[in-house]
Amino acid sequence: MLSREENEMVTRVGPGTPMGELMRRYWVPAALSRELPEPDCAPVRVKLLGERLVAFRDTSGRLGLVDEFCPHRGASLFLGRNEEDGLRCVYHGWKFDIAGNCLDMLNLPSDTTFKTKIRLKSYPTIQSGGIVWAYMGPPEKRPALPLFEWTQLPETHRFVQKAWEECNWLQAMEGGIDAGHAPILHRAINPNTEQPGGFRGMRTSRGFETTEEVEPTEHGVMSARLSRMSDSRVWVRINQYVLPFHTFFPAEIYDPKSEGSITYKPFINGHIFVPMDDENTMTYNWIGRFSGEPFSVAEIEEHERSKGRGPGELAPNFRKLRNKDNDWLIDRKIQRTETYTGIAGNHNQDHAVQESMGPIVDRTQEHLCDTDIQIIMARKLLLASVRNVQEGKDPPGLQPSYYTVRATERIIDNGSDWRDALRHLYNPRWPG
Q: What is the 3-state secondary structure (H, E, C) of the chain?
A: CCCHHHHHHHHCCCCCCHHHHHHCCCEEEEEEHHHCCCCCCCCEEEEECCEEEEEEECCCCCEEEEECECCCCCCEHHHCEEECCEEECCCCCEEECCCCEEEEECCCCCCCCHHHHCECCEECEEEECCEEEEECCCHHHCCCCCCCHHHHCCHHHEEEEEEEECCCHHHHHHHHCCHHHHHHHCEECCCCCCCCCCECHHHHCCCCEEEEEEEECCCEEEEEEEEECCCCEEEEEEEEEECCCEEEEECCCECHHHCCCECCCCEEEEEEEEEEECCEEEEEEEEEECCCCCCCHHHHHHHHHHHCCCCCCECCCCCECCCHHHHHHCCHHHHHHCECCCCCCHHHHHHHHHHHCCCCCCHHHCCCCHHHHHHHHHHHHHHHHHHHHHCCCCCCCCCHHHHHCCCEEEEEECCCCHHHHHHCCCCCCCCC
- Asked whether 134 and 44 are in contact (CB, 8 A), the reply is no
- Is the pLDDT at 14 greater than 90, yes or no? yes
**Is there a single domain that holds both residue 164 and residue 76?**
no
* Domain harbouring 115, CATH code: 2.102.10.10
Last residue of a domain, one of 98, 113, 141: 141
Domain end: 83, 109, 141, which one? 141
Maximum pairwise Cα distance, the chain:
84
* 137 and 167, same domain (yes or no): no
Long-range contacts of 89-94 (CB under 8 A, 24+ apart): 94/70, 94/118
Do residue 117 and residue 162 come from a single domain?
no
| CA torsion through residues 359, 363, 368, 373, sign | positive
Pairing, β 81-83 against β 63-67: unpaired
CA–CA distance, 224 with 394 (Å, rounded to integer): 28
Tell me the average pLDDT of the chain: 90
- pLDDT value for 130: 97
Residues 68, 58: Cα–Cα separation, whole Å: 16
pLDDT tens digits along 347-369: 999 999 999 999 999 999 999 98
For residue 205, what pLDDT is reported?
46
Say yes or no: 271 and 162 in one domain: yes
51 and 190 assigned to the same domain: no
Residue of higher predicted confidence among 189 and 285: 285
Provide the domain count of the chain. Answer: 2
Residue 257 and residue 310 in one domain: yes
**What average pLDDT does this structure show over 290-312?**
89
In whole angstroms, what is the distance from residue 219 CA to residue 140 CA? 21
Instruction: List the domain range (segments joined by +) for residue 358.
Output: 149-423
pLDDT at 131: 98
Q: What is the mean pLDDT of residues 252-274?
A: 63
Whether 66 and 182 share a structural domain: no
Domain boundary among 110, 141, 172: 141
> Can you give the length of the chain in residues?
432
pLDDT at 123 over 70: yes
Examine the pLDDT at 252 and tell me if it is beyond 60: no
Same domain flag for 125 and 161: no
Alpha carbon of residue 285 to chain centroid: 6
Q: How much is the CA Rg of the chain, to the nearest whole Å?
A: 23
Is residue 430 in a domain? no
Residue 266 — pLDDT band, cuts 50, 70, 90?
Answer: low
Cα distance between residue 192 and residue 183, in whole Å: 17
Q: What's the rounded Cα separation, in Å, for the pair 328 and 343? A: 7
Euclidean distance between CA atoms 110 and 36, whole angstroms: 31
Task: Determine the Cα–Cα distance for residues 66 and 91; give it in Å rounded to an integer.
Answer: 17
Please indicate, yes or no, if residue 241 is contained in any of the structural domains. yes
Q: Is residue 4 part of a domain?
A: no
Q: Which pLDDT score, from 0 to 100, does residue 425 have?
A: 54
| Same domain? 211 vs 356 | yes
Please check whether residue 132 lies inside any domain of the structure.
Answer: yes
Can you say how many angstroms the Cα of residue 409 is from the centroid of all Cα atoms in its chain? 21
Are 305 and 378 contained in the same domain?
yes
Share above pLDDT 90 across residues of the chain, in percent, rounded to a whole number: 70
Pairing verdict, β 122-123 and 102-105: unpaired
Least confident among 55-69, 88-102, 416-430: 416-430
Question: Quick one: pLDDT band at residue 291, thresholds 50, 70, 90?
Answer: confident
- The tens digit of pLDDT for each residue in 68-108 reads 999 999 999 999 999 999 999 999 999 999 999 999 999 99
In this predicted structure, what is the pLDDT of residue 254? 43
**Are residues 110 and 175 located together in one domain of the fold?**
no
CATH of the domain at 325: 3.90.380
Identify whether residues 155 and 130 lie together within a single domain.
no
Instruction: Please state the pTM of the whole predicted model.
Output: 0.92
Q: Please report the pLDDT score of residue 349 as a whole number.
A: 95
What pLDDT band is residue 200 in, cutting at 50, 70 and 90?
Answer: low
Answer yes or no: is 123 within a domain. Answer: yes
Q: What is the structure's pLDDT at 259?
A: 44
Q: Which of 102-106, 227-231, 249-253 has the lowest mean pLDDT?
A: 249-253
For residue 225, pLDDT over 90 is answered with: no
